[in-house]
């Protein structure tokens, strides 16, 4: 790495690739009712308008970061009881919005929690280690 100051450059996506793919929206439990509400998420999705989607092969997975908050002074049972209604409400509100927009395929949207992602990933520990190495090299 040189001594030059690093600059982040952000670019818009002109078109999504012409292949199957999945977008991932991580949902923070502290933002689920404001900047990551179902309505706000719908606004973010509008960026991927029909002119940017070449084929209907793109899905979206919301990943709710409920498990990430268990490193807290609050009891896990209290946090679980607090987060579960928020997650269900967010999902149901988003599905309601989605049902009013026929362009999108409902089955291409999924909703999971962080724990589910951990369980479904066959090699999570190894992949997380690789991600950490990549991150620290940046």
pLDDT in tens, the chain (138 residues): 455 666 666 666 677 677 777 888 999 999 999 999 999 999 988 777 667 776 667 789 999 998 777 677 888 888 888 999 999 999 999 999 999 987 777 888 999 998 888 888 889 889 888 888 887 886
DSSP symbol at 5: P
Residue 135 burial class via C-beta count within 10 angstroms: exposed 0-12, middle 13-18, buried 19 and up: exposed
| Rounded distance between C-alpha atoms, residue 4 and residue 58, angstroms | 38
Ranges of each domain in the chain: 21-137
User: Would you state the structure tokens that stand for residue 91, as one six-digit string?
Assistant: 């999902």
Which neighbouring-strand residues pair with 138? none
């Amino acid at each position: 790495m040189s001594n030059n100051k690093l600059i982040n450059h952000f670019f818009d996506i002109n078109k999504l690739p012409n292949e199957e793919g999945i977008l991932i929206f991580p949902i923070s439990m502290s933002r689920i009712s404001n900047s990551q509400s179902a309505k706000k998420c719908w606004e973010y999705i509008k960026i991927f308008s029909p002119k940017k989607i070449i084929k209907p092969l793109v899905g979206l997975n919301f990943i709710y970061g409920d498990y990430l908050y268990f490193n807290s002074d609050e009891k896990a049972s209290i946090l679980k009881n607090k987060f579960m209604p928020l997650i269900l409400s967010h999902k149901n509100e988003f599905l309601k919005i989605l049902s009013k927009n026929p362009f999108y395929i409902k089955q291409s949207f999924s909703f999971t929690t962080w724990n589910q992602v951990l369980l479904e990933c066959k090699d999570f520990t190894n992949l997380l280690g690789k991600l950490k190495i990549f991150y620290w090299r940046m």
